[in-house]
């Protein structure tokens, strides 16, 4: 059977191509003839461009309460008053939310304008506004015969400090592009995005973004002793791929390694998942690898001075006569033996190989990202990712990057008292702990393979998918983690430990 491919006549997953037709302008006065979004704090006078004062807004029933809006005629089009609540937009996250809500309400309009609110540093505000608008207008309709979404043509940012806003708008477009690509990859059905095709895309995109790209197939992985990914791939007709990306700035201020889980489709293997709605979303089980690829493609243009190496561990996890079986013992890179007690705990097996390889290069720190455990989703829900690690300073850097990008993480304890749950009678480890604390025991498993180097693990099982739309987060795969990793690399400082 000839497989479809992700790049066709009507679909290019490169967000720079998606946003190449989007022009971002910065002006001190709003243009006429296009919809305008104006944040308004409760009880405050709005920007003059709205055309109404506070008394007129109040008479129209608009209170400025967060989440409310009022549409008024303006220059042959409309202006939208956006409720910013008491005190107005307090930070970039609030600006992003307001801009996203406005863009979603203007979904049929190719050109939009947005007034930056007072009280938020203009560079950060402009970046957040552009991110909110671009990401709110994102739709994955590559396989629809008649796409319904209307492409975004231009964004005008209205701000008195044009220089600062211009710098922020440029940054926002880069960061939005990273999330858009991560969404594209995760939303693409597995028949259109195999491990092989993922590697081809990395080669195509990486070369234009200043990355060195190496691809390792089955034979090379066997030679490297990567028994984790080989075992997980055993049931699939599609070959595995490990993709190694390298970004080397002229003068490196630190060395960071990223590891991304790239299970292109996760059936659970022999431990087959139930045939429910969750099973149908398992095309997104490569969201970690997608986030790493998308973040690294933006490093050069963002002026990153951290040297970054990324490992994308890509394979299906499928049942067949050659699939890994419960009770099998496989050997990870470096010689650690692992008893497989559940083939649906496969992500940690493919990541273990990469963590060993990353640690062998002795970077300043290692950060992995994965849709790893339902336990993390049950603990933190669908809005907050989990983070664990062996270095408090590194975990704090991850937390700060999540706060800046509004991709929040919450630290769970890497509690060593649960480590005995991973002991095996026949091997060095088993790949699953007990019924409880599953997110923690999964992280404890990964910690075995980092050779004591500073390391943090981000579990995005809950945040990778959204069933409903809200502001700049449309339903579907979210691309969570791409902007976080990009911000982390830009701000990275080697942990003192």
Task: State phi, psi for 409 to the nearest 5 degrees.
Answer: -125, 155
DSSP-based three-state secondary structure for 455: strand
**How many Å apart are CA 78 and CA 227, to the nearest integer?**
60
Q: Which of 96, 241, 244, 348 is catalytic?
A: 348
Strand (E) positions, 107-266? 111-115, 154-158, 212-216, 241-247, 254-266
Cα of 193 vs its chain's centroid, Å? 17
DSSP-based three-state secondary structure for 369: strand
Comparing CA positions, the residue from 199, 103, 201, 220 lying closest to residue 153 is: 103
Angle between helices 287-297 and 195-208 (to 10 degrees): 10
Give the contacts of 287 (CB within 8 A, at least 6 positions apart). Answer: 182, 185, 186, 261, 371, 460, 464, 477, 479, 480, 481
Comparing CA positions, the residue from 99, 66, 61 lying closest to residue 83 is: 66
**How many Å apart are CA 392 and CA 478, to the nearest integer?**
27
Question: Would you call 348 a catalytic residue per the annotation?
Answer: yes
Strand (E) positions, 28-151? 36-41, 69-74, 77-85, 111-115
**How many Å apart are CA 443 and CA 9, to the nearest integer?**
42
**How many Å apart are CA 429 and CA 446, to the nearest integer?**
11
Give the contacts of 236 (CB within 8 A, at least 6 positions apart). Answer: 315, 316, 317, 318, 320
Angle at 339 between CA 338 and CA 345, to 5 degrees: 90
**How many Å apart are CA 259 and CA 244, to the nearest integer?**
9
Question: Would you call 273 a catalytic residue per the annotation?
Answer: yes
Angle at 302 between CA 7 and CA 179, to 5 degrees: 45
Per DSSP, what are the bridge partners of residue 82?
A: 39, 69
**How many Å apart are CA 10 and CA 143, to the nearest integer?**
8
Q: Is 305 exposed, middle or buried (0-12, 13-18, 19+ CB in 10 A)?
A: middle
Q: Which of 27, 66, 273, 400 is catalytic?
A: 273
**How many Å apart are CA 262 and CA 294, to the nearest integer?**
13
Angle at 206 between CA 203 and CA 211, to 5 degrees: 120
Write down the number of H helices and E strands in the chain.
Answer: 15, 19
Give the contacts of 136 (CB within 8 A, at least 6 positions apart). Answer: 99, 100, 101, 102, 103, 104, 471, 472, 474
**Residues assigned a catalytic role:** 273, 348
């Amino acid at each position: 059977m000839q497989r479809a491919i992700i790049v066709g006549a009507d679909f290019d997953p490169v967000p720079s191509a998606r946003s190449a037709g989007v022009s971002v302008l910065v002006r001190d006065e709003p243009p006429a003839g296009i919809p305008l979004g104006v944040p308004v704090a409760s009880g405050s006078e709005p920007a003059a461009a709205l055309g109404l004062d506070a008394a007129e807004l109040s008479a129209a029933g608009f209170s400025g309460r967060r989440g409310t809006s009022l549409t008024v005629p303006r220059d042959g089009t409309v202006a939208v008053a956006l409720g910013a609540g008491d005190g107005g937009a307090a930070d970039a996250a609030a600006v992003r939310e307001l801009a996203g809500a406005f863009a979603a309400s203007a979904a049929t309009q190719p050109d939009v304008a947005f007034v930056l609110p007072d009280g938020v540093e203009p560079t950060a505000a402009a970046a957040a506004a552009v991110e909110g608008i671009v990401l709110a207008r994102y739709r994955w309709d590559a396989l629809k015969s008649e796409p319904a979404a209307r492409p975004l043509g231009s964004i005008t940012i209205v701000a008195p400090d044009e220089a600062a806003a211009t710098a922020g708008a440029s940054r926002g477009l880069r960061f939005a592009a990273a999330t858009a690509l991560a969404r594209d990859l995760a939303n693409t059905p597995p028949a259109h995005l195999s491990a092989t095709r993922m590697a081809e895309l990395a080669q195509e995109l990486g070369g234009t973004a200043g990355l060195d790209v190496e691809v390792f197939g089955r034979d090379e992985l066997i030679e490297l002793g990567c028994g984790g990914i080989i075992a997980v791939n055993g049931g699939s007709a599609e070959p595995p791929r490990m993709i190694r990306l390298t970004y080397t700035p002229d003068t490196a201020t630190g060395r960071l390694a990223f590891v991304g889980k790239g299970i292109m489709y996760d059936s659970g293997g022999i431990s087959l998942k139930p045939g429910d709605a969750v099973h149908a979303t398992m095309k997104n089980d490569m969201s970690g690898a997608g986030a790493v690829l998308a973040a690294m493609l933006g490093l050069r243009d963002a002026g990153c001075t951290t040297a970054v190496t990324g490992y994308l561990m890509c394979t299906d996890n499928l049942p067949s006569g050659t699939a890994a079986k419960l009770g099998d013992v496989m050997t990870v890179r470096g010689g650690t033996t692992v008893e497989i007690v559940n083939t649906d705990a496969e992500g940690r097996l493919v990541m273990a190989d990469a963590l060993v390889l990353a640690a062998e290069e002795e970077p300043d720190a290692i950060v992995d990202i994965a849709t790893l455990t339902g336990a993390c989703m049950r603990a933190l829900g669908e809005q907050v990712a989990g983070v664990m690690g062996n270095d408090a300073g590194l975990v704090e850097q991850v937390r700060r990057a999540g706060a800046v990008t509004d991709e929040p993480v919450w630290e769970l304890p890497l509690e060593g008292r649960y480590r005995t749950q991973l002991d095996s009678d026949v091997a060095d480890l088993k790949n699953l702990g007990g019924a409880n604390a599953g997110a923690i025991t999964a992280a404890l498993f990964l910690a075995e393979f980092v050779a004591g180097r500073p390391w943090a693990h981000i579990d995005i099982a809950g945040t990778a998918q959204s069933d409903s739309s809200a502001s700049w987060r449309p339903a579907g795969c979210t691309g969570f983690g791409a902007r976080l990793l990009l911000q982390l690399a830009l701000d990275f400082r080697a942990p003192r430990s």
